[in-house]
Amino acid sequence: MAEITRRENVLRAYRRQNPWFIPSMSDVDVCIPSVLEEGPTCVGKSQDGWGTWWLLLEGQPGPMPDEKAPPVLEDITEWRDVIHFPDVDKYDWEAGAAADTANWDRENRISSCIIVNGMWERFDALCGFENALCNVVAEPEETYALLSAIADHKIKYIEKIAKYYKPDKIQLHDDYGTEKAMFFSPDTWRELFKPNLKKIVDAAHANGLIYEHHSCGYIVPILDDFVELGIDAWNPVQNPNNPMELIKKYKGKLTFVGGYNDRLFVDPKATDEDKKNSILATIDAFGPSGSWMPQPTVGDDYVYFASKAIYDYNKPIYDKLGLSGELYAPPSKDMKKTAVYETAESMKK
């Protein structure tokens, strides 16, 4: 068999083309472009380019808008006069890309840029979460118009990132659900969000990029829509969605990034054996699918176990195929998960 690369193996997973073995997340280089004025700019309290105040506290897994700060947008009917979209042309994209991608290994790994605060996350950050939900119900036309304008702005990011960063993949963050249900009905999502998300997905593909959509919570009712839109991958595939059943339905249609029983690792009643058996069951179910990137959505104490189990699963397959070249670096016992914002250059200021 011809020599393959780890990079090609990852790409085959994202393209649902049956990788030779389960790819490793260690073969994905990731950054949040440091030039973007999205979200917090430091640990503590900071204001982004849209005027939203954020809190990112020590030990906090992710940032949240500061609830004590007044919302940027109090009356949605005035958004055209109130909202000032950051000027993407003023950023030094060339310098930012050079710094952020300096350690990328484009020969052996794929590369990915994360755009935080998609349409809904930016919308609720501007309005406040409760007001945003009220706007969806009371002012659907203005909500749609603002979401559309935000989508157009995200497309500008995608075009600039494609030109200067030249990644293989874009990952857009936009949560749509709680653990039990979506924030809004599926029909409301289809009316207000779906047409605008299509613009974003199409723009990513037009620029030669794989499109991965991050959406926490329960979103099963719109997964068929994800497939229809041409979304390539979805993460983190949290347990309320019943990933073990979903992989049967969406195998070959949607790449799952994650899929472990993440709730088990915060359950005080779960034993060590429960957690390890769950990891092994996930690998057995997802490994043969040809549509899986095993992002370790497990507890920190189990990242090594999950990674080692996949490595051990892969090794005999790799050897049997007679593949040449390095599989990938064996997992290290001091492995830990990396939070999204720990990858942002702006956090180092």
Neighbour-count burial of 167, counting CB atoms closer than 10 A to its CB (0-12 exposed, 13-18 middle, 19+ buried): buried
Ranges under pLDDT 50 in the chain: 1, 343-349
Fold annotation for 6-348: TIM Barrel (3.20.20)
Q: pLDDT at position 347, please?
A: 45
Rounded Cα distance, 183 and 130, in Å: 11
- 257, 234 in Cβ contact below 8 A? yes
Rounded Cα distance, 339 and 274, in Å: 25
Q: pLDDT at position 338, please?
A: 59
pLDDT digits over 235-256, tens only?
999 999 999 999 999 999 999 9
Q: pLDDT at position 213, please?
A: 98
Q: pLDDT at position 282, please?
A: 97
Give me the residue spans of the domains in the chain: 6-348
Cα-Cα-Cα-Cα dihedral of 129, 134, 137, 142, to 10°?
-80
Q: pLDDT at position 136, please?
A: 98
Which residues does 87 contact at the CB level (< 8 Å), separation at least 6?
none
Rounded Cα distance, 129 and 313, in Å: 43
pLDDT digits over 43-74, tens only?
899 999 999 999 988 877 788 999 899 999 99
pTM summary value? 0.94
Rounded Cα distance, 315 and 318, in Å: 5
Separate counts of helices (H) and strands (E) for the chain: 12, 10
Token pair belonging to 335: 């492995």
Q: pLDDT at position 60, please?
A: 77
* Secondary structure (3-state) at 82: helix
pLDDT digits over 309-333, tens only?
999 999 999 889 887 777 887 888 8
Rounded Cα distance, 251 and 231, in Å: 14
- 99, 155 in Cβ contact below 8 A? no
Q: pLDDT at position 336, please?
A: 67
Nearest to residue 276, comparing CAs of 250, 253, 298, 251?
298
* Secondary structure (3-state) at 179: coil
* Secondary structure (3-state) at 261: coil
| Percentage helix, strand, coil for the chain under 3-state DSSP, each rounded to 5 | 50, 10, 40
- 216, 177 in Cβ contact below 8 A? yes
